[in-house]
Chain A
Amino acid sequence: MKVTINGKEYRFDKPITVLEAARRVGVYIPTLCNHPRISPTGSCRMCLVEIEGQPLLQTACTTYITDGMVIRTNSDRVKASVRHNLELLRMIHPDDCQTCEVNGRCELQDLIQRYGVESRYEYYGNAVNIVDESSPSIRRELSKCVKCFRCIKVCEEVQGLSIYAMIKRGHYEYPATPFDAPVYNTACVSCGQCSFVCPVGSITETPDWRKVLDLLEDPRGKILVVQTAPATRVALAEEFGAEPGTISTGKMVASLRRLGFHYVFDTNFSADLTIVEEGHEFVERVKKGGPFPMFTSCCPAWVNFAEKMFPWAAQHLSSARSPHMMMGAVVKTYFAKKIKKNPEDIVVVSIMPCTAKKDEITRDQLIIDGWKPVDIVLTTRELARLIRVKNIPFMSLPEEEYDHPLGESTGAAALFGVTGGVMEAALRTAYEVITGETLPKVVFEDVRGLDGVRDAVIKIADKEIKIAVVNGLANTEKLLRKLQSGEAFYHFVEVMACPAGCIGGGGQPKSLDPDVLIKRANAIYEIDETLPVRKSHENPAIKQLYKEFLKKPLGELSEKLLHTEYRDRTREHKNLHRYYESENVESA
């Protein structure tokens, strides 16, 4: 179909939205509420365009192109509307960019700069000024909210949780939790998708980077150990202007050294360790005949979800701790012995694509002999901020290697960053443990792809193993209901709370690229393919660890350091009305 945009004719083969069409041909249309992860809302009125024959301006994000459509995106009328709407937002949005967590990464700031919008009206601010710091993972500051509905929609559509809803009306509305309860006390699983989609700094990860900065500048005799998750290396470079999917492992390691960390280790190492432990646990269950399904446990948002919503599923979770927790435990025991230090002398910082990891390290069950395996978790975004604050020229850094011995990893571990990866890695190990034979083909095509739910039947030594891979908690809930009703049965289920797994995590660099997940996933697969060792149990450093320290998978020391237990937390988010204060909800 023929469409004219700003006087130029273009051809499109299928009816897409005006916004998509314009972006494809490189025409700029400003947006604020539209996000590729959610359905269009049409509420910010930034993407207005003039369409011939229509008296009113139309939103590009909700209007579909038709044959012969004549669109103008840059008329004076359109610009006047956009500028006016931005003036209105300046009227309610505080001018404290300097101290804002997303300074320089704020969509509103960008738009205001793009259009050179001055404060035309007095600053009135938002009607509510709630600062919610209850959660270790996300921080809400409602005075900064621009009411774009993104957090509400992502929580509803992607995670199926609907923690937020817009309450009250007009200027006085705000995205509230049930009964205005602190978000940590609701059913929130800390996945941080809301902080990922928030165009401004209204919802951010709980900032911990200043704490880390202070430590780096003055370690006070502590040994600073940092570890990086599989998914951070394919996304971090985006913060410095690179194309999504750029692999920046070496530069990231180099930047961490420049920041002043004493040891830089790779969470991929402990991902291998997780696979060995979890793989053996699965093999045990197969031998014993249950309980099935076994759920993976490396996603802390999923663990929260299971504990808070589906306690029966929590009892089926693998007892293996998540990889960065295993790393913390190994660093503070095995590695501490090597450098002759006590666990208390070591600070472990995890760089994660995830906000739920910030919540995970506060779990009591994970404390070993009075020390925490991981002390601080930073998201990918926070690391980028640290690097920027310290003026480290990230893109020009040389490629450096991880420190030994906890920096060695396999292709299987790299896959942890993407949905289906844990399953694939576990299958590679489980196959060889069960059959004792070499796996003929390392890639399990059935579990790859970014669809919400995928399942397959894998044949391992005459046994048919039914597996499922699911990402996004909305999809997970559907699957769990099927399992509950007996409609479906699986032996092994991998769950990742975020879309496409950790690469789409709530702590990853914000992106409006609709293909960002595909690009990051391909980078992960590329890392897997280029590594010489692609099965976790063949990792030489892992073998050495078992030989020198842990002795055997699921052994006594393993149980203490690498495994955990789960609780029924369904009652925690009940009776939220106790937070309901009458003066707080009085209408303005």
Chain B
Amino acid sequence: MKVNIKVASDPKSILEGSLEVANYFKFLSEVHHVDVDIERDPRLGACIGGILVDIEGEKYRVNGKEEAARLFTHRVILKKKVKDLEVKRILRPQRMEITKEVLVVKRYFGKYEDIDGYISLGGYEGLKKALKMKPQDVVNEIKESGLRGRGGAGFPTGLKWEFALKEKSNVKYVVCNADEGEPGTYKDRIIIENDPHSLVEGMIISGYAVGANKGYIYIRGEYRDIAGKLHAAIEEAYEKGFLGENILGSDFSFDLVIRFGGGSYIAGEETALLDSLEGKAARARYKPPYPTQKGLFGKPTVVNNVETLVKVPWIVYHGGKKYREYGTESSPGTKLFCIGGMANKREVVELPMGVTLREIIYAYGEGVYGEGKLALIQTGGKAGTFVSKDKLDIKLDFDILKKENISLGSGAIVVIDDRISFLDILKTVIEFFEHESCGRCTPCREGIFLLRKQVNKMYEKNEIDYNVLEDFQRIVNIMESSSLCGLGQSVHNPVLSLINLLERGEIS
């Protein structure tokens, strides 16, 4: 006999974790082989101090997974009433809004098969508009939009383009950074799989805006399987005259090629990427000179992330002002967030900036999977910070995050549950960086090696040595101030935040 369970799913309940509870019931039913029908009901109502659950007409209040498990075993499996969880007074669901997805990047996802489909949806209109504008006007439009680089550093894109535009050189390059190596980040892959033409269009516009006639898409070697789609899109664009000589009758010519990475995390750092494109091993260069001054083959080069470039046609077509309508004052627009780790639903969502972590994790990620409870969240990939539960309601906005010392990075939101220990996390982080340090500079190359040796010692003994951790803090702080590139400079993010959480008792 099927047991009918309804879980309240009004916005407020969702943010308190009702979807997590619903998923947990489903998980329990699979574990115990019980046939249940779980329904999410936004009109069920609410209760104080928990989430309202309706099991065959009986109303219960569930607060946390232990209570949910107790309710499930007693009420569903043993068919007994659970007196202390019963609810007498049902409240009306509160009016509340969850930040809705805004489809800028995801606007054409899954809507077209080939270039004709893309054009019929309004594709390449941005390019047509751009070609009628002066390059400086295109740059101004991007500056107006306030678009910030979506690769991790958050540098204003318009400003970057302006630097490159002002460089006097007969050869310039635009490079798309599709070397998505940040663990927990997979947005670029999804974009290329679902909407390769927007990337191609964005590349052409960026080339036009900065005065470059050649573009490279540097895609990571592991993405060889999806590069076919991108390759087909480029071929089609050539056939239709969007690429090649005198694009759409203008005097602007642009060529676009794909290059594969060799499997290195550091190749996602723009200067190391340029080294790799030149055929060398990916190792970071010192800055300045910045790539916009001396980049690929010594020429001015603009390096942009896939997500940044895909937004460009939209911004050019709709205008920078329209883009500013989304998001917050200091960080306008939308951002792709990759929900990963122990979340129930791991997917890419596009939300305006200013959204909270709670919304992302509980409304879109549907809470923590299985029996685990939320312990930590790592934002911004491996080089990002670990955030505790009490930061769930912080608005994700570059300025606020900077104050809170949280890095948003590439937009990875990794949910970590309480079954993972401090040493586990620390070991994973350090081993990752040790493997990926390019070896250009001493503090990062030997410093992380030293950290790994120390972590392994602790891990083998399964004992946290606080003296060693104190030394760790000194080492990563020096690494931050003295390393050559962003990799060494950001190792302190995860290490310090994790040690801080350990000291606060958030993790053990």
Interface residues of A (CB under 8 A from B): 40-46, 48, 55-57, 59, 62-63, 77, 80-81, 84-85, 88-89, 91-92, 121-122, 124, 146-147, 149, 165-173
Contact = CB atoms under 8 A, between A and B. Distances in A.
Contact of A170 (B434, B475, B480): B434
A169 B439 contact: yes
Contact of B286 (A40, A46, A48, A56): A40
Contacts of A43: 440-442, 484
B441 A44 contact: yes
Interface string B25-41: 00000000000000000
Contacts of A59: 286, 484
A81 B476 CA distance: 11
Interface in B426-472: 434-450, 453
B446 A91 contact: yes
B258 interface: no
Nearest to A46: B442
21 contacts: A41-B440, A42-B441, A43-B440, A43-B484, A45-B441, A45-B442, A48-B482, A59-B286, A62-B286, A62-B288, A88-B446, A124-B453, A166-B283, A167-B281, A169-B435, A170-B436, A170-B439, A170-B444, A170-B445, A170-B448, A171-B448
B4 interface: no
Interface string B123-146: 000000000000000000000000
A46 B478 CA distance: 12
A171 B449 contact: yes
B483 interface: yes
Contact of B437 (A122, A149, A171): A171
Contacts of A168: 439
A165 B275 CA distance: 13
A73 to B, nearest CB: 14
A326 to B, nearest CB: 44
B301 interface: no
B408 to A, nearest CB: 19
A85 B447 CA distance: 8
A466 to B, nearest CB: 33
A121 B446 CA distance: 12
Given A43-B442, A45-B441, A88 B480 contact: no
Contact of B450 (A88, A149, A166): A88
B280 to A, nearest CB: 8
Contacts of A147: 439, 442, 445
Contacts of B474: 84
Contacts of B446: 88-89, 91-92, 171
Given A43-B440, A167-B281, A81 B481 contact: yes
Given A56-B480, A124-B453, A84 B434 contact: no
A30 B483 CA distance: 16
A173 B481 contact: no
B23 interface: no
A63 B440 CA distance: 17
Contacts, number: 103
Contacts of A124: 449-450, 453
Contacts of A81: 443, 478, 481-482
A170 B431 CA distance: 12
Contacts of B266: 169
B202 to A, nearest CB: 31
A44 B440 CA distance: 8
A170 B435 contact: yes
B276 interface: no
Nearest to B282: A169
Contact of B484 (A45, A63, A166): A45
A45 B438 contact: no
Nearest to A587: B435
B253 interface: no
Interface of B: 264, 266, 281, 283, 286, 288, 434-450, 453, 474-475, 478, 480-484, 489
A58 to B, nearest CB: 9
A45 B286 contact: no
Given A43-B442, A170-B434, A170-B437, A80 B286 contact: no
B437 to A, nearest CB: 4
Given A147-B442, A173-B445, 8 more contacts: A45-B443, A46-B442, A48-B482, A56-B489, A59-B484, A166-B281, A169-B438, A170-B449
A92 B442 CA distance: 11
A85 B481 contact: no
B442 A56 contact: no
B484 A42 contact: yes
A171 B445 contact: yes
B286 A169 contact: no
Contact of B439 (A57, A62, A84, A173): A173
Can you list the 7 inter-chain pairs with the closest CB atoms, starting with the nearest?
A171-B449, A170-B437, A42-B286, A88-B446, A173-B439, A81-B482, A62-B286
B77 to A, nearest CB: 51
B344 to A, nearest CB: 36
Contact of A85 (B439, B443, B449): B443
A42 B289 CA distance: 12
A42 B264 CA distance: 21
Contacts of B448: 170-171
A145 B435 CA distance: 20
A76 to B, nearest CB: 12
Contacts of A149: 440
A167 B439 CA distance: 10
Nearest to A83: B478
Nearest to B479: A84
A84 B438 contact: no
A57 to B, nearest CB: 5
B478 A165 contact: no
A85 B488 CA distance: 13
Contacts of A80: 478
Contact of A169 (B437, B441, B475): B437
Contacts of B447: 84, 88
Nearest to B264: A169
Q: Taking each of B288, B442, B448, B489, which has the highest tally of chain A beta carbons within 10 Å of its own beta carbon?
A: B442
Given A40-B286, A56-B489, A81-B481, A91 B450 contact: yes
Contacts of B286: 40-42, 59, 62
Contacts of B445: 147, 170-171, 173
Contacts of A165: 281
Q: Taking each of B264, B437, B449, which has the highest tally of chain A beta carbons within 10 Å of its own beta carbon?
A: B449
Nearest to B446: A88
Contacts of B440: 41, 43, 149
A85 B288 CA distance: 22
A40 B448 CA distance: 24
A80 B481 CA distance: 11
A88 B481 contact: no
A265 B286 CA distance: 50
Contacts of A89: 442, 446
B430 to A, nearest CB: 12
A149 B264 CA distance: 20
Contact of A88 (B264, B439, B442): B442
B481 A77 contact: yes
A92 B484 CA distance: 20
A169 B448 CA distance: 12
Nearest to B286: A42
Contacts of B438: 169-170
A169 B436 contact: yes
Given A166-B439, A169-B264, A56 B481 contact: yes
B483 A45 contact: yes
Contacts of A77: 481
A40 B289 CA distance: 12
A468 B85 CA distance: 97
B450 A121 contact: yes
B478 A171 contact: no
Contacts of A41: 286, 440
B492 to A, nearest CB: 12
A46 B441 CA distance: 10
Nearest to B433: A170
